[in-house]
Chain A
Amino acid sequence: MIRIEALSKRYKDATVLDGLDWRVENGGFAVITGRSGGGKTTLLSAMGGLTRPDEGRAFIDGLDIWKLSEPELASLRNRKLGFIFQFPSLMPSLNMLDNILLPIAFSGRSPNLEDRKFALSLLDMVGVGGKEELYPFQLSGGQQRRAAIARAMINSPPVLLADEPTGDLDEKTESEIMRLFQDINRQGTTIVMATHALDYVDLGKAYTLKGGRLIPYEGAEVAPAGAASRGQ
């Protein structure tokens, strides 16, 4: 379960998160929309242990994450969270398999045969099976994003935080990847996804981040007319 309390984050001239209270149940699927610059990435980062909020608390699995020491927080990111970013995020210097196995190295052990098997099955699951020897530049943008999802899942984290995971992909690939997230969620992983692909707000419980506050999604006020109805 994810919970945030009175979470605030300010930059010099702007309050990006303004005392947010929010929770996502275990196995939930939360979709956060909002215009670009609205603070979606900041919110995911503050509750995922990537940036310290100015005020408030964030809990993952009951742990007050900003009270943890740096190694503990790193370990929490490693075991409990999987991040998927809005840009290509595979290490260009490593092949697919090594990329997928990378988080295991940070959990303090060397990948073993089991891990390799699991990594290959994840690659299969996300739809890029058989490409484990290839390097990121040899794959399409959609394939790289799929591999990044596999990497986020290698330590079987209970929570995936996905920040506009389909932002730069074509519509067909986007819908395939969204379906993938849906499958993953159905198998029990909690997902929080920021997106401005309004077609997919009905994947889970949808919210809008606006003026530093999180409100239940109420239709496509920020999107051009007609866009919101496409997914329904």
Chain B
Amino acid sequence: MRQIFYLALQTLKRKRFRVWVMIGSIFLACATLFVAVALSKGISHTLQTALERLGADLVAVPAEARDEAEAALIAGSPTIFYMPAALEDRVRAAPGVERTCAQIFLRSLSAPCCDSEVSLVGFDPQRDFTIAPWVLQKLGAPLRNNQIIVGAKVISAVVGTPAKAIGQRLVFMGKPFTVGTILEPTGLGADYTVFLTMDTAYQMTNDSPLYPLPVKRDQISAIFIKLEKGAEQAAAALAIEQSIPEVKVFTANQLISSYSRQLHSLVNVLLAAGGVFCALALSLAGSLFFLSVRQRMREIGLLMAMGARKNFIFRLVLLEAVCISGAGGLLGVLLGFVAVRLGRDRMAELIGSLYMWPDPPYFFKAAGLILLAALITGGLGGLYPAWRISQTEPYEAIRRGE
């Protein structure tokens, strides 16, 4: 067995250029595939997070503010829109609706604490279900009026680690707050959001001379809706819109769909490139390998004359194929890894701050699978030449190898 490895390795070392062409083509295919797979996983990861973050099946916003609202809900863009708070009761009464909660969006502002603008959002700590229950639980007691829950990015600029941030005092519009707890990073607008109680939100806009437009107590920005089990999102949304024309109702899927369309077209391009490279690699490496086995017919015939069995020849050729495809695959996923790392931040610039890469374990899984696929493909590709040559009589192999 040691000899077979040695012989295969020595042979590969000899035809260096050709071997590198084969390895290179496989490498290119695997690298592209790796990046495409990582990206597409990242996209579904991002969308999943967006959905979870939303925490609701439907979101109702003022009908006249539909476009700004869509952007605001996902990316937290700096817009404000209001509707009468009384609408919430009517929405809650609609068929299929299980629960609702309202939030009020205040104008985004740049605060001395933070690098980028933060959004202030008022919510009802008793009823809200869009902030994960465990976040509120961590507080220990209900959120008090001078406490805030902050997004992961709001705080990192000020005190560094989130753990240190709890209990810190931050000042917004002249009013001091204590950080009650911090949200997990989401990659979404929530990372730059400061959540405070509804009461505080109303009060601030009225008290602070810094806030341009006071918000009245009976105004809200969005109604988050949880449906009863089995209720269909699109149908329920339509029913609500028909009975309450003052609101526009987005389904959770709708909200993320424009974003996902944009990301998916990018992935499709990459996947197509990966497909083309794979086809190229298969035909190029495959035919080169076939050729190189043919060219070595005499050598193989000589091995047989020296006493090598068919079986040995078969394994030798197969091993060579697997070595080549394995090396290509390994280099491919390694470079894919590097490309993903280098492109990490560039990616966020390219398609918006929302984009999230998959977790590291996924990368390893993808790398492993692609490598395995390369090895298996190499093995399958090597089967035919290996079988052909091992079935040839030594005399024929020697004669035809001239």
Contacts and interface: CB of A to CB of B under 8 A. Distances in A.
A25 B13 CA distance: 44
A189 interface: no
A78 B395 contact: no
B200 to A, nearest CB: 79
B303 to A, nearest CB: 8
Contacts of B396: 51
Counting chain A CB atoms within 10 Å of each CB, the highest count among B10, B302, B402 belongs to B302
Contacts, number: 78
Task: Give chain B's interface residue range (CB within 8 Å of chain A).
Answer: 20 to 34
A50 B398 contact: yes
The residue among A75, A103, A107 with the most chain B CB atoms within 10 A of its own CB is A103
Contact of B307 (A41, A77, A89, A94): A77
Interface stretch (B209-217, B261-269, B308-316, B377-385): B308-316
A116 to B, nearest CB: 14
A41 B399 CA distance: 10
Nearest to A42: B395
Nearest to A91: B299
Contacts of B342: none
A74 B309 contact: yes
Given A91-B299, A93-B13, A106 B308 contact: yes
Contacts of A75: 307
Given A91-B299, A93-B13, A93-B14, A106 B306 contact: yes
Chain A to chain B: the 3 pairs with minimum beta-carbon distance, closest first: A78-B307, A51-B395, A106-B307
Interface of A: 41-42, 45, 48-52, 70-71, 74-75, 77-79, 83, 85, 87, 89, 91-94, 98, 102-103, 105-107, 110, 151, 155
19 contacts: A49-B394, A51-B395, A52-B393, A77-B305, A77-B306, A77-B307, A78-B306, A79-B307, A83-B306, A87-B402, A91-B302, A92-B14, A92-B299, A93-B11, A93-B13, A93-B14, A98-B6, A102-B306, A110-B2
Interface of B: 2-3, 6-7, 10-11, 13-14, 298-299, 301-312, 393-396, 398-399, 402
